Amino acid sequence: MFASSITKQIEIEDGVEKGTVTIRKLSARSLDKAREARQLAVMGVATKFGPELMKSFREVAAEKREAAPEGVGAPTVDARYGEFDRTLVLTQGVASWTFIVPLTAGLEDLDEGAAELLFHAIIDLSYPAKAAAEQIEKNA
């Protein structure tokens, strides 16, 4: 019932240092905030393109959807990773670690591979594939 009490330890190494990262399940509220942050970021980029370019993107996307075989282009379970702001998920989902670097500074300095690994682990813990699949089916 209380998401923050659900944790998982992830062993991670970068070739130089090996350590353990403790991640926590995000609450429904935290997931909503991360989803909203991602939507705002996407909208911010879209507004920079301007209305004419966005219109052409929509037209091309509609043409591709119409030409695609049935089921191609449908939402997938892995699409859930694109729903959430990675920075927000990491800052709220990484509870602690055994590395020498302090957590706050270290989160800012993660390489792409470590950031993706931890992000996916937190989303998998917080919004399991089964729940995502049920949501896709419900929206179909």
> pLDDT value at position 138?
66
Domain chopping of the chain, boundaries: 28-139
**Helix (H) or strand (E) run with residue 95 in it:** strand 94-97
pTM above 0.95, yes or no: no
> Is the pLDDT score of 72 beyond 60?
no
Assigned token pair, 60: 């091309």
Amino acid at 75: P
How large is the greatest C-alpha to C-alpha distance in the chain, in angstroms?
53
Q: What residues pair up with 96 in beta bridges, in sequence order?
A: 22
- In terms of pLDDT, which residue wins out, 75 or 13? 13
CB atoms within 10 A of CB 74: 11
pLDDT tens digits for range 31-54: 999 999 888 887 777 676 677 766
pLDDT of residue 64: 64
